[in-house]
Amino acid sequence: MKIHTIQFVSSSIHYQQCPQDHKPEIAFMGRSNVGKSSLINALLNRKQLAKVSKTAGKTGCINHYLVNNQFHLVDLPGYGWAAVSHTTQTKWKKMIAAYLLHRTQLLSTFLLIDAKLTPQPIDLTCMRWLGLNHIPFSIILTKSDKKNKSIVHKNHQIFLHTLAQEWATLPPIFFVSAHDQLGLDNVRTYMQAITS
């Protein structure tokens, strides 16, 4: 998929405030500091479309970007640890859940997981919740830089073994590095396939 046009559409705090044009949507979600903003910028060939910060928890709303006038890429707030209050985290959790459960235009969700870490309970819980609520999703293993190849491979094997305990069929898994540009075309091709 070639990126021709990108337009920032809206920033919402409730799914009912999201765009009403009924274009298909692909959401990006993940634990705070997983590299979501960097990945979105890399996928869309833009440097500062999604705000990148060294402070986790920068994204606080449901952000819609219209890609090629064809579909919306949706940037959701990070879950888990962030430099925000417990009250704010709870609010974000409810915001994300309401969007995922009620947004009829949502085709699929990319769940971003840090490839440099062993499986984190909060990510496994999120996967479980998505499965129980029949929300289609794929997994993107971020930070799969070439310099981290051995640890990424090791953690991937642990991850597969962990998932095999609960999942009969695994969702698609992509290895991606925004820094090395690794795997970006695979994700773009997948997005084009499900939105065409």
Task: Note down the domain range covering 107.
Answer: 6-148+171-195
What DSSP assignment string belongs to 122-139? HHHHHHHHHHHTT--EEE
pLDDT, tens digit, for every residue of 120-157? 999 999 999 999 999 999 999 999 999 989 999 999 99
E-strand stretches of the chain: 6-12, 25-30, 62-67, 71-75, 106-114, 137-142, 173-175
Q: Give CA–CA dist 107/176, Å, rounded.
A: 21
CB-count exposure of residue 135 (10 Å: 0-12, 13-18, 19+): middle
53 band by pLDDT with thresholds 50, 70 and 90: very low
E-strand stretches of 25-86: 25-30, 62-67, 71-75
Structural domain includes residue 180: yes
Is the pLDDT at 56 greater than 70, yes or no? no
87 against 186, higher pLDDT: 186
**pLDDT (mean) for 87-95:** 79
pLDDT at 59: 61
Is the pLDDT at 186 greater than 80, yes or no? yes
pLDDT at 68: 94
Structural domain includes residue 154: no
pLDDT at 33: 87
pLDDT at 19: 95
Under a CB-based contact definition with an 8 Å cutoff, are residues 18 and 103 in contact? yes
Q: Which two tokens stand for residue 105?
A: 């235009």
pLDDT, tens digit, for every residue of 95-106? 999 999 999 999
Q: How many C-beta neighbours within 10 Å does residue 109 have? A: 25
pLDDT, tens digit, for every residue of 19-30? 999 899 999 999
Structural domain includes residue 165: no
Structural domain includes residue 162: no
Question: Chain-wide mean pLDDT for the chain?
Answer: 90
Q: Give CA–CA dist 162/102, Å, rounded.
A: 29
pLDDT at 152: 95
- Could you tell me the CA-to-CA distances from 7 to 15, 30, 104 in Å, in that order? 19, 23, 21
Structural domain includes residue 74: yes
CB-side exposure of 48: number of CA atoms within 13 Å?
A: 1
Number of structural domains (the chain) is 1
Q: What is the CATH number of the domain that holds 89?
A: 3.40.50.300
Structural domain includes residue 135: yes
pLDDT, tens digit, for every residue of 2-46? 889 999 999 999 999 999 998 999 999 999 889 999 999 999 988
Structural domain includes residue 160: no
